[in-house]
Structure 1
Amino acid sequence: MKLMDPQYGAEVVTQKGKIFIFDDVNCLMAFIDSKEVTEEDIKHVLITDYDTPESLTDATVAFYLKSPHFKTPMASNIVAFSDYEVLKKHKAEHGGIYLAWGELVTQFK
């Protein structure tokens, strides 16, 4: 899959090295929820840092901000940050709600 906008990308890497690429958080979450790949078969779940789109970070420890300001490719309106202070700066500028990984997983179930 070609990413529509690299600021919103995500991927799952399996233990065998197969890579699944997603262009929005909601697509990533739907894939994980689908059980197409078992939890044991997943080696990494990675998310693009909104401020540094060339950088992937561990999705399970990233900080998420949901705001209508962010026009994501599949309309989740959720972006990820590897640094909480950067998230707070964007939240102050654009509003929205902070989500941790557990809240994100729960929201998309």
Structure 2
Amino acid sequence: MNFIKNSLIVAGMLSLAACAEKGPQEIAFGKDQCDNCKMTIAEPKYATQLLTEKGRVYKFDDIACLRDYEATYPENTGNATVYVADFPSGKFVESSTATFIKGGQIISPMGGNTQAYSDKAAAEKAASELGATLTNP
């Protein structure tokens, strides 16, 4: 009887795991720590996330911390999906679909000085206004 009960529990847990949402997690700004520098993630519009194939999410306060983490821990980041905050809305988008601007008057938490935009025209306008350049981080 215990075998059947345990089997049902395991099957239920596997079903729940299979239904788990794939994508960026919500960040508790002012509470969650950057997985690279360990500082508190405070600025929503610069936050980034890395989702591994196994479903592990790493959170970062700036794209510079994400890139540093990728270089330091390539075994954790291969084939991972990167999400960046769309600067105007703060919502996470896949980095592969975003347009990035860097430099000029942009000052981000860890010196990456990069903003992500889900809309290329908005990125071009912001780059012009901020003296930044379009880039691929």
* 1:27 paired residue number: 65
Give the structure, 1 or 2, with the largest relative contact order (CA under 8 Å, sep 6 or more). 1
Asked if structure 1 preserves the Cα contact closer than 8 Å seen for 2:100 and 2:117, the reply is yes
**Rg bigger for which structure?**
2
1:49-68 matched pairs, under 5 angstroms: 49-53=86-90, 55-68=91-104
Q: Which residue of 2 aligns with 1:107?
A: none
Structure 1 residue 37 corresponds to structure 2 residue 76: yes
Compared with structure 1, are the counterparts of its residues 32 and 87 closer, same or farther at alpha carbon in structure 2 (3 Å cutoff)?
A: same
Change (3 A) 1:33 1:61: farther
* Residue of structure 1 equivalent to 2:115: 79
Partners of 2:77 and 2:127 lie apart in 1 by: 34
For residues 97 and 88 of structure 1, the distance between their equivalents in structure 2, rounded to whole angstroms, comes to 8
Structure 1 gap ranges (5+): 105-109
Q: Which residue is equivalent to 1:92? A: 128
* Structure 2 counterpart of 1:47: 84
How many positions carry a matched residue from both structures?
A: 98
What per-residue deviation string (whole Å, max 9, x for no partner) do you get for residues 50-104 of structure 1? 1011x1111123111112312100011111111100001101211111113xxx2
Q: Percent identity?
A: 26
- For structure 2, the 5+ residue unaligned runs are 1-32, 34-39
Distance 1:68 1:7 in 2: 17
Provide runs of 4+ in structure 1 moved above 6 Å.
Answer: none
Do the aligned partners of 2:48 and 2:62 also contact (CA within 8 Å) in 1? yes
